[in-house]
Amino acid sequence: MVRWEYSRLLPKCANFVLPMCRMWVLYVTQSLFTLLRKAQALFKDHMMLLASCSAPMQIFAVFLTLVSGYVALLAQERASDEQMTLKVPSSEPKNIVIIGGGIIGCSTAYFLTRHAHYNPEIHSIVILEASRIAGGSSGKAGGLLADWATPKCLAPLSFKTHAALAKKHGGDKIWGHRSVYCADVELQAQDVGCKVEAANSATKDVIAQSSKVPSELDWLLPGSIKSYKELGTPSNSGQVNPYMFTKTLAELAEDKGAKIIIGSATAINYAEDNRSIASVQYSQNGTIHSLGATDILLSAGPWTPRLFPRVHLETPRGHSVVIQPSRNLSPYVLFPNITAPPNGSLEHILSPEIYPRPGDRLHDFGSVYACGPDDYDVPLPDTSESVAVDDQSCNDVWTAVKSISREIFDGKLITKQACYKPQIRTHEEGEEVGPMVGPTGIEGLWLATGHDEWGIQNGPGTGLVMSEMMFERAAKSANCDSLDPKHFLKID
C-alpha cells in the first residue's frame, strides 16, 4: 500500500494543477488550434516533473492527458468537418444563369466571380440579357446613393459597398462616383428672358436670411429659392452614373470568366416534379436555344413576372433628360417643389428631381440629369429597346429645370429618355416595401427584383448577398429575412 506524503506532494500537485487551470482558461478565450499548441507545450515542459511525482499523481496526470487528447481529437474532427462544409459548395459544379443585364444581374455576376468559392473550371456564370447591358432603368436612373435609403437591412451595406468598389476600380473616374449633398427645396420659376441682374439683390437677401442655404449652391437663379431643407450630406450620400457603373461591373465580371449572351429569355424549364429547375429557354435572332442550369437568378426588373407569374409588380414609367450645362455645377441633388413664375408666363410646371453630375468615361464634361413624375399609362413593352419616349413629357422636364437655373437654361439638351421601374406596390415616401431577394421555394430558382427607385443604390448590396446565398446557402453580410420572396409571392 502506497503511503501518501501530503507535505511533499502538495507543492508538486500545485505545480502541475495550476498550469492545467491556466490551460482551460485559454480554452475558453482562444481558438481550439491555439489551445492544442499550448496544451502540447505544457505537457512537454512538465514531463520531468511528472516523473518525480508519486504513482497516484502520475495516474491522475495520465488520465488528464487522455481526456485532453480526446477533447483535442474532437476539436480537430469538428474543425475538419467545418472545413469540409465550407468546401462542399465550391467543389460542386454550378451552371448559373442570371436573367437580366441590369444593375442587379451585373452586381450579382461581379460578386459571384469574386466569391471565395468561385472556381471558373467548374462554375459557369452567364448573364442573359434581352437587349443590351443597362438598357433599361439601370442605364437611365438618377444614380443617387444614400445610406438612409430603404430597406434599412440592405441600404447601409450597399452604400459602403459602392464606396469600396469605387476605391478598388477607380469609380470616380469611370462612373462618376462622388459624395453629394441632398435637399428638399421650395423654388419659384423665373422668366429667364428678363435681365438676371435685376433680381440679384433679391436672391442675396433670401440667402442671407436663411443660413441653411449653402453658399456653394450657386447655380439657382436669383430669387428662385424660397426654402432649403437638408436631407443628406457627403458622409451619407453620393451618386454614380448608373449606365457606366452597371456596364463596368459587367465587364469586370467578364474579366473573371462570366459570359454575356444577348438573347430574350422565353421560359424556365423545370424538372419533372416541378420542385427544381432544369434550364432556361431563350430566343436569339429568331432561333430558340436552351441553357442548362443548376441555379437561375430572376433579375429582369419589371419583366420578371413574364417568366415567373407568381411575382406581381407595378411598372411605372418615368421620363428624364440629360443636359450639358454652361459650366460644371456644385454637387447638390435637389428634390424641388417648383411653383409657377409670378408673371404667369408658365401656367403648368413640373417639379423634376435634379442631379448635377461630374465628368466620367461616358461624358468628359459635367452634366445634369433631371427626371419627372412616374406614369402608369402605357403598358410594359416586350423589351427595353421598345420603350416609347413621350417627347412632350421630356420637354416639360426641360422647361422646368431651365426656369430655375441660368447654367441649365444656357446649356445643351443631350438626351431624352424613358424607362420602367419594378415596383412591388405604390407606397409613401420612406415606406419600406421590398425588394424581393432570395430563394423562391423551387430548388435552384432565385429572385432579386422590386427595387423601385433604389435599384442603383441597393444593387451592389443585393449582388453581394445573392452571391453568398448561391454559394453558401445563406446571406452573411446582411440579415435579409424581411426581403425573403415568400413574403411577396402570389400563391399558386
Model confidence over 322-337: pLDDT tens digits?
A: 999 999 999 999 999 9
Amino acid 194: pLDDT = 58
Amino acid 162: pLDDT = 99
Output DSSP code: residue 267.
E
Confidence of residue 345 (pLDDT cuts 50, 70, 90): low
CA 32 – CA 325 distance, rounded (Å): 63
Confidence of residue 259 (pLDDT cuts 50, 70, 90): very high
54 pLDDT exceeds 70? no
* Residue 127 contacts residue 250 (beta carbons within 8 Å): yes
Contacts of 469 (CB under 8 A, 6+ apart): 438, 439, 446, 475
C-alpha gyration radius of the chain: 31
Confidence of residue 28 (pLDDT cuts 50, 70, 90): very low
What are the CA-CA distances from residue 181 to residues 172, 207, 216, 334, 357 (Å)? Answer: 16, 17, 11, 8, 12
**What strands lie across the sheet with 412-420, from one edge to the other?**
225-232, 181-188, 332-339, 353-357, 367-375, 317-324, 412-420
Summarised one tens digit per residue, pLDDT across range 462-486 is 999 999 999 999 999 999 999 999 9
Helices (H), 297-442: 391-402, 406-409
Summarised one tens digit per residue, pLDDT across range 127-169 is 999 999 999 999 999 999 999 999 999 999 999 999 999 999 9
Summarised one tens digit per residue, pLDDT across range 168-195 is 999 999 999 999 999 999 999 998 865 4
CA 465 – CA 458 distance, rounded (Å): 11
Mean pLDDT of the residues in the chain: 85
CA 384 from chain center: how many Å? 22
Residue 151 preceded by cis peptide, ω within 30: yes
**The cell 501518501 sits on which residue?**
4
For the chain, the residue count is: 492
pTM of the model: 0.80
85 pLDDT exceeds 80? no
Summarised one tens digit per residue, pLDDT across range 219-229 is 999 889 999 99
Cell triple for 350: 413640373
Q: Which of the residue ranges 12-16, 53-57, 307-311, 440-444 would you say has the lowest mean pLDDT?
A: 12-16
Cell triple for 158: 450597399
CA 226 – CA 120 distance, rounded (Å): 57
Confidence of residue 433 (pLDDT cuts 50, 70, 90): confident
Q: Positive or negative, the Cα torsion across 476, 477, 481, 487?
A: negative
Amino acid 491: pLDDT = 78
Give 391's Cβ-side CA count (13 Å radius): 0
Q: Which of the residue ranges 341-350, 393-402, 425-434 would you say has the lowest mean pLDDT?
A: 341-350
Amino acid 212: pLDDT = 79
